[in-house]
Amino acid sequence: MTGIEVAPATPASLSETSPGNRRRAWIVTAMLVAFMMVNFADKAVLGLAADPIMADLGLSATQFGLANSAFFLLFSLFGAVGGLLADRVSPRWLLLGMALLWSVSQSPMALGGGVAMLFASRILLGATEGPAFPIAQQTALSWFPNHRRNLPTALITAGTTLGVVIAAPGLTWVVRQYGWRSAFAVVAIVGVLWAVVWAFVGRQGRHAVAAEDATAETTEKPGSSAVGYRRIIATRSWIGVTAGFASTYWILALALVWLPSYLHNGLGYRTTTAANLVALVWAVSAVAVVGQAGLTGWLLRRGVSSRWARARVGGITLILAAAGCLALAGGQRGPLTVLFMVLAFGICGVMASIAVTTVAEFAPPGRRGGALGLMNAVVTVAGLLGPVLIGRLVDTQGLAGYRNSIVLSGVLLLLGGLAACTLVDPDRDRRRLAR
């Protein structure tokens, strides 16, 4: 069994390099990208239908924020539990079960549920989506050695943005033509269709812990596979990437829940235009995530340490996004505001992919799923707190509440970027965990 990962000194085995194995690796990766697209379309539907839902159900902005925060009530807990479980149970079946439960949780609102059912369905959806990102990434990691992981993990992260790129105009059209409940029916059906396909093609790769052997790309110091989770989460690298990822998740929650409403009610854009701008932001995010993978891979191939190639690339990106937020807070409707919005919301998502590959670099494979799940659990607390806090600011301060929320987001991004730049050093912490 292997633990501490470095580039292979010998040629990979025939099974790793065979066309069939490579093809299966990318088929699974494509399915995981689609999985995350469905995941974020499920999250986005409530924000895209915010105004008609609040009007039909008689919700204030604070109550609507609470409904969104309800999604995260069990999200963090089950994210940690799911990550730990992925170290013991095949992720193939965990992913299948989650996708089916997502569809079940969306069904009550499609069939006429009221306020109580809205809260209950969002809590169930949050619980079943909590482990999605770490388990999807854990499954992708099992198909690729360390030096080839940047692109697949970036593509899966980009899937979170592509889901909203497609959902924003698509579900907005469904809401306008057929009512907001129809949008919930659409995402439920899509979840079932994904689960059917995954049941046939879903697999775990040879770089899973149970399959690693002497031909794999890593070596392990005796006893390193027994490293406790407490030691892993106490490392400066885990703390640094978690802080950076948490600031990113705050922005993701703001974009999912309140950005459509801010563009429509705060800046006066038409509903269709607001949906298209939301899609633009998430499209830029997808490009940024994939571009970061290319840049990071290029730097690593040239011998640049992961501390610079991953952590500081991510940290600097968060600092730039913070500048965009602070500039956006003082802007008015127009092209410059759109530019600041794209900078603020469109580039910080790179930290999600960087956080995953960084943790995978220094955490032993036998503890990787749990380390990712625990990180996700901490990070997603931002999703629990953000929507209700912003809703409260909007209720009490009106349009100024939107602006103050964006300023607060800029400060959090700045702190997260500084943490990533100053704390993270995977090589250092990998050596420490190997002792």
Q: What are the tens digits of pLDDT across the range 163-219?
A: 888 888 899 899 999 999 999 999 999 999 999 999 999 888 765 543 333 333 333
Transcribe 367-434 into DSSP letters: GHHHHHHHHHHHHTHHHHHHHHHHHHHHHHHTHHHHHHHHHHHHHHHHHHHHHHHHH--HHHHHHHHH
Structure tokens at 395: 């209720």
Are the C-beta atoms of residues 243 and 416 closer than 8 Å to each other?
yes
Which domains does the chain carry?
17-202+233-434 (1.20.1250.20)
- 364-401, pLDDT tens digit by residue? 878 887 888 889 889 988 877 888 888 888 889 988 88
- Residue 220: per-residue pLDDT: 41
- 285-307, pLDDT tens digit by residue? 989 989 998 999 899 989 999 99
SS3 at position 218: strand
C-alpha separations of 360 from 95, 149, 299, 363 in Å = 20, 10, 18, 5
Q: What are the residue ranges in the chain where pLDDT is below 50?
A: 1-16, 209-224
The C-alpha atoms of residue 155 and residue 33 are separated, in whole angstroms, by 6
The C-alpha atoms of residue 69 and residue 58 are separated, in whole angstroms, by 18
C-alpha closest to that of 46 among 135, 150, 129, 167: 167
The C-alpha atoms of residue 21 and residue 5 are separated, in whole angstroms, by 21
